[in-house]
Amino acid sequence: MKTMTRVVAVALVAVMMCMVLASCGSTISGAYSRTYESEGLFGWGAGSYTTTYEFSGKKITKITDATIGSKTETTTQTGTYELTDDGKIVITWDKDVQTGDGQSSVSKETYAFDKGDGFILIDDKKYEKK
């Protein structure tokens, strides 16, 4: 009887541990970058752009360095992210960087996502681990 009680107790603990681990979700850690050239679309000038995503826990920071001619400008966005079971990343930004007014407007974006050895794909764009 004692053996059966121990077996049941161990089984319950194992099931509970699986449930806890499953509820934690997946996270990414580290920084991933991509550099690309643009011919000047959507109001941005022709130039070189480097976008870096930094992940820590469930927090995300997006840093974009835009070099147009001899001028370099850096924009930074912060927020949180979630990886879904169907291969997407949902990013909720703390504020809308386009307005730059510091208001508390929240922007939520969903992209296709995949992770490989030393890189991630966001919306089919490859970002290499730094």
More confident residue, 18 or 67: 67
Q: Residue 123's domain is classified under what CATH number? A: 2.40.128
Range of the domain at 90: 30-129
Residue 114 maps to a domain? yes
Q: State mean pLDDT over 43-55.
A: 86
pLDDT exceeds 70 at position 42 = no
- In residues, how long is the chain? 130
Per the structure, the count of domains in the chain is: 1
Residue 18 has pLDDT above 50, yes or no: no
Q: HEC string of 72-119?
A: EEEEEEEEEEEECCCCEEEEEECCCCCCCCCCCCCEEEEEEEEEECCE
Return the higher-pLDDT residue of 22 and 25: 25
Residue 8 lies in a domain: no
Assign 29 to helix, strand or coil.
coil
* pTM score of the predicted model: 0.71
Quick check: is 9 in a domain?
no
Angle, alpha carbons 106-108-110 (nearest 5°): 170
Q: What is the pLDDT of residues 111-124, one digit of tens each?
A: 999 999 999 999 99
Host H or E run for residue 1? none
Is the residue at 85 inside a domain?
yes
Q: With 80 as the cut, is the pLDDT of residue 106 above it?
A: no
Percent of the chain at pLDDT exceeding 90: 54
Q: What are phi and psi of 10, to 5 degrees?
A: -65, -40
* 56 belongs to a structural domain: yes
In a domain, 10, yes or no: no
Residue 13 resides in a domain? no
Burial 43-72 (b: 16+ CB within 10 A, else e): eeeebeeebbbbbeeeebebbeebeeeeee
- pLDDT score for 95: 74
Which range has the worst mean pLDDT, 16-25, 70-79, 96-105?
16-25
Average pLDDT, the chain: 81
